[in-house]
Structure 1
Amino acid sequence: MMNKNFLKLEFTKEDSYIHLDLSDNFSTDDPLFDELAFYLGGLEYHHQKDSATIHLTTLEKLEILCKKAREYADEESEESDKYEQVKVLVSNDKYYLDSSLALANAYDSIELIQNNTLKVSLDNKFGAIDLLGNEIIPIKFDDLYMLANDLIYASDNNAISLYTLDKAEEFHDLEDVLENDVFSYQQSYFWLKNNNKWGLFDHKLNQIIPFRLEYDYCELLSDDVKENIYIKVFKDGKCGLINGLLNIDLIKLDKDIEDILVNHRKNFLVKKHSAPDVELGILDLDKNSNKLRDLN
């Protein structure tokens, strides 16, 4: 018999309130929480009212959101414990780290950008060092900033490099980098462009789709890349929708399409230049025959 990991949600109703107890193994990283959070989302409001699988009262929703808030508070507390005091000395318009362990290098500016990482500049070039003065990123870039947690964007002469604090340089000579925040409760995804082709990566720069999409612009519309990878694409003034994993067209590029919006998880709203909004049925992909089925 297959082992199952049960998540316990116990509701206790009193005269004036409803109390929700969650089991210790109830984690917001569990797929079940994603389902609950999804049904709480405004995009699913109308669908949720008719759903027979999950129905939560306002108080129950607040209990779940409060648990999420407590977890965030714990995470913030853990992060704050990682910070160390940094002292900077200024002499003759130059900045130095004030530490017996730090290397005695002079900089034009020093700025804390992430926990134990300092952005430094010298002769109008930027780089990054740790609190001991050790170089993390060479001081050779025209621009440098935190793109996400542990992810640093650096550009020089129209070429872009991405660095992670734990793995050093990950990519270089990129043509463009775009952040794709599908839903606020999930980590962002990133589109990287190299040799005029886009690739999709998660927030840790793990590859989801290799550099193969030859479009002017790509935007991930899926909220779960493990299930479906729906991507809105633009090229030569045309808009369409593809399945990025299978690399097939779901809605072919069309100059009359102005935009494609998510209505529900597999339900899209096509906005045309010359006509009112036309709502498509639920798109379902038969992976064997590569055909679309309209479920409406």
Structure 2
Amino acid sequence: MARLASAHKTGGRSLGFGRREFCGMLTSHNDTDRRPSVRYSAPVSADHGDVKLNRAGRARTSPGDDDSPRRAIAGTPMTLCVVLAGGAGRRMGGDKPQQLYQARSLGEHALSLAANFAVHVALSVRERRQADGLPPVQLLFDPPDIEGPLAGVASGLAYGEQIGTAQVLTIPCDAPHLPDDLYAKLEEALSQDPVALAASAGDGRQGHPTCTLWRTEALGPLWSYARSGRRSLRGLLAELNSRQVVWEDPFGQVFLNLNTPKDLAP
């Protein structure tokens, strides 16, 4: 059961959510173009290449400088899930996406979750090596002048704006036990509050701001926030009038982040 609270305040009335699942597929590299691509659930596939942000903070696909938004595929729910994988992983002793947990890398766990949440899947990294050995998906590069997970959210929202999706779900690469109904409950909360620009997850003890469903309109306020020198996702969510959905998690396992080699042990 999950309950809804105003921005980063626990409590509030209980909500009954139905289960809602979106299936995404990860595709292999194109034979003639080795850039990552994403296969859509509609009978169309597209290869967008690597994505970086231009000086205006909008997504730019390489090669080329086409900044125009891409048209949504007719009949396809424009849902995007971005895995945030650009952290340095200092406590882990290296990049987290390649660390093994229960016979699979953390990056593979996260991409598998993302494919169950959304039609489109992307991986946000700071260095290309952070995608090494992972299934080929759309790569987004964190803007170099923004530190922390805020950078991945920025690149994710910019890419979401480019492909024409109204919402972007972000999840961390180091939380392999996220609930199956994460997207469904966040979407339900966001749809009930037209003023809120985001809905994030919590567990009754603390919020988990990397697990957030963002409206793409949040990109402008995010850039203003970042230009002021602030980097806290919690601070940004407060400014966006965000909602928080609280999962009952008495043992603290659902949103558990794996941060050290000890956390990876069986």
Question: Does the alignment reach a TM-score above 0.5?
Answer: no
Tell me which structure has the larger Cα radius of gyration.
1
- Structure with the higher strand share, 1 or 2: 1
TM-score by length of 2: 0.25
TM-score, normalised via structure 1 length: 0.23
By relative contact order (CA 8 Å, sep 6+), the higher-ranking structure is 2
Higher helix proportion: 2
